[in-house]
Structure 1
Amino acid sequence: MSTTTDARTLDNYVGGAWTPAQGAETLAVTNPATGALLAHVPLSGGADVDAAVAAARAALPAWRDVNVIERARRLFTLREQLVARREDLARSVTTEMGKTLVDARAEVGRAIEMVEAATAIPTTMQGRILEDISRGIDAETIRQPVGVCAAIAPFNFPMMVPFWFLPFAIGCGNTFVLKPSEQVPLTQQIVFEILHELELPPGVVNLVNGGREVVEALLDHDGVDAISFVGSAPVAKLVYERAARNGKRVQALGGAKNHMVVMPDAVIDKTVSGLIGSAFGAAGQRCMAGSVVVTVGEAHDRLLERLAAATRALTVGDGIDAASDVGPVVSCAARDRIADWIDRAVADGATVVVDGRGGLDGLPAGGAFVGPTILTDVTPEMAIAQEEVFGPVLAIVRAQSLEEAIGIVNRSRFGNGTSIFTESAPAVRRYRHDVQAGMIGVNISVAAPVAFFPFSGWKDSFFGDLHAHGPDAVEFYTRKKTVTSRYFGSGQGTGAYFVEQ
Structure 2
Amino acid sequence: MKIVGHHINGQLSEAAERTQDLFNPATGEVIRQVAIASEETVEEAIAAARAAFPAWRSTPPARRARVMFRFKQLLEENAGQICAMIGEEHGKISHDAMGELTRGIENVEYACCGPQLLKGEHSRNVGPNIDSWSEMQPLGVVAGITPFNFPAMVPLWMFPLAIVCGNTFVLKPSERNPSVALYLAQLMQEAGLPDGVLNVVNGDKVAVDTLLTAVDVEAVSFVGSTPIAAHVYTTASAHGKRCQALGGAKNHAILLPDADMDNAVAALTGAAFGSSGERCMALSVAVCVGDGVADALIEKMCGEMRKLKVGAYTDSSNDFGPLITAAHRDKVNGYIASAAEQGATIVVDGRNPKLPGGEKGFFVGGTLIDNVKPGMTCYEEEIFGPVLLVVRVDSMAEAMQMIDRHEYGNGTCIFTRDGEAARYFSDNIRVGMVGINVPLPVPVSYHSFGGWKRSLFGCLSAYGPDGVRFYTNRKTITQRWPSSGVREGAQFSFPSN
State the match for 1:63 in structure 2.
Answer: 56
CA deviation vs aligned residue, 1:480-501 (integer Å, no higher than 9, x gap): 1111100123799969989637
CA deviation vs aligned residue, 1:269-295 (integer Å, no higher than 9, x gap): 111111011100000000000000001
Indicate the SS of the match to 1:168: helix
Give the Cα–Cα distance (whole angstroms) in 2 for the partners of residues 124 and 497 of structure 1. 38
Indicate the SS of the match to 1:87: helix
State the match for 1:465 in structure 2.
Answer: 459
State the match for 1:274 in structure 2.
Answer: 267
5 Å matches for 1:294-333? 294-297=287-290, 298-333=292-327
Amino acid in structure 2 at the alignment position of 1:269: D
Amino acid in structure 2 at the alignment position of 1:74: V
Match of 2:276 among 261, 274, 283: 283
Is 1:37 equivalent to 2:30 in the alignment?
yes
> How many Å apart are 1:189 and its aligned residue?
2.2
Is 1:406 equivalent to 2:400 in the alignment?
yes
Structure 1 length-normalised TM: 0.96
C-alpha contact (below 8 Å) 1:135/1:497 kept by paired residues: no
Amino acid in structure 2 at the alignment position of 1:477: Y
Indicate the SS of the match to 1:335: helix
C-alpha contact (below 8 Å) 1:317/1:363 kept by paired residues: no
Is 1:19 equivalent to 2:17 in the alignment?
no
5 Å matches for 1:282-431? 282-297=275-290, 298-431=292-425
Match of 1:186 among 155, 179, 188: 179
Give the Cα–Cα distance (whole angstroms) in 1 for the partners of residues 72 and 130 of structure 2. 42
CA deviation vs aligned residue, 1:347-383 (integer Å, no higher than 9, x gap): 0001011100134242422200010100001112212
Give the Cα–Cα distance (whole angstroms) in 1 for the partners of residues 43 and 490 of structure 2. 53
Indicate the SS of the match to 1:165: helix
> How many Å apart are 1:327 and its aligned residue?
0.5
Is 1:205 equivalent to 2:198 in the alignment?
yes
Is 1:166 equivalent to 2:149 in the alignment?
no
Give the Cα–Cα distance (whole angstroms) in 2 for the partners of residues 85 and 467 of structure 1. 29
Query: Which 10-residue stretch deviates more, 265-274 or 191-200?
Result: 191-200
> How many Å apart are 1:186 and its aligned residue?
1.2
> How many Å apart are 1:120 and its aligned residue?
1.1
C-alpha contact (below 8 Å) 1:75/1:118 kept by paired residues: yes
Amino acid in structure 2 at the alignment position of 1:340: G
C-alpha contact (below 8 Å) 1:135/1:496 kept by paired residues: no
- Change in CA separation of 1:364 and 1:483 when aligned onto 2, cut-off 3 Å: same
C-alpha contact (below 8 Å) 1:315/1:325 kept by paired residues: yes
Give the Cα–Cα distance (whole angstroms) in 2 for the partners of residues 99 and 405 of structure 1. 33
Is 1:28 equivalent to 2:26 in the alignment?
no
Match of 2:133 among 130, 140, 164: 140
Amino acid in structure 2 at the alignment position of 1:347: E
State the match for 2:244 in structure 1.
Answer: 251
CA deviation vs aligned residue, 1:75-114 (integer Å, no higher than 9, x gap): 0010000000011111111111012111101001011111
CA deviation vs aligned residue, 1:118-160 (integer Å, no higher than 9, x gap): 1111111221122212101111111100110000010000000
Amino acid in structure 2 at the alignment position of 1:127: G
C-alpha contact (below 8 Å) 2:353/2:363 kept by paired residues: no
Gaps of at least 5 residues in structure 2 are none
Query: Which 10-residue stretch deviates more, 196-205 or 400-409?
Result: 196-205
Indicate the SS of the match to 1:423: coil
Gaps of at least 5 residues in structure 1 are 1-6
C-alpha contact (below 8 Å) 1:134/1:498 kept by paired residues: no
Indicate the SS of the match to 2:324: coil
- Change in CA separation of 1:490 and 1:323 when aligned onto 2, cut-off 3 Å: same
State the match for 2:42 in structure 1.
Answer: 49
CA deviation vs aligned residue, 1:21-58 (integer Å, no higher than 9, x gap): 2x331001110001232211011111001100000000
- Change in CA separation of 1:399 and 1:185 when aligned onto 2, cut-off 3 Å: same
Indicate the SS of the match to 1:367: coil
Match of 2:66 among 58, 65, 73: 73
Is 1:438 equivalent to 2:432 in the alignment?
yes
Give the Cα–Cα distance (whole angstroms) in 2 for the partners of residues 204 and 109 of structure 1. 24
Indicate the SS of the match to 1:482: strand
C-alpha contact (below 8 Å) 2:353/2:364 kept by paired residues: no
Give the Cα–Cα distance (whole angstroms) in 2 for the partners of residues 464 and 421 of structure 1. 30
State the match for 1:4 in structure 2.
Answer: none
Give the Cα–Cα distance (whole angstroms) in 2 for the partners of residues 78 and 16 of structure 1. 16
Match of 1:113 among 58, 82, 106: 106
Give the Cα–Cα distance (whole angstroms) in 1 for the partners of residues 334 and 56 of structure 2. 50
C-alpha contact (below 8 Å) 1:33/1:327 kept by paired residues: yes
Query: Which 10-residue stretch deviates more, 393-402 or 126-135?
Result: 126-135
Segments of 4+ moved more than 6 angstroms: 490-499
Match of 2:226 among 233, 242, 253: 233
Amino acid in structure 2 at the alignment position of 1:205: L
- Change in CA separation of 1:454 and 1:490 when aligned onto 2, cut-off 3 Å: farther
Indicate the SS of the match to 2:103: helix
Is 1:483 equivalent to 2:477 in the alignment?
yes
Indicate the SS of the match to 1:130: strand
Amino acid in structure 2 at the alignment position of 1:184: N
Give the Cα–Cα distance (whole angstroms) in 1 for the partners of residues 417 and 424 of structure 2. 13
State the match for 1:214 in structure 2.
Answer: 207
> How many Å apart are 1:401 and its aligned residue?
1.0
Give the Cα–Cα distance (whole angstroms) in 2 for the partners of residues 103 and 454 of structure 1. 22
Give the Cα–Cα distance (whole angstroms) in 2 for the partners of residues 334 and 428 of structure 1. 36
Amino acid in structure 2 at the alignment position of 1:400: D
Is 1:451 equivalent to 2:469 in the alignment?
no
Give the Cα–Cα distance (whole angstroms) in 2 for the partners of residues 122 and 19 of structure 1. 34
> How many Å apart are 1:385 and its aligned residue?
1.2
Indicate the SS of the match to 2:65: helix
Aligned-CA RMSD value: 1.6
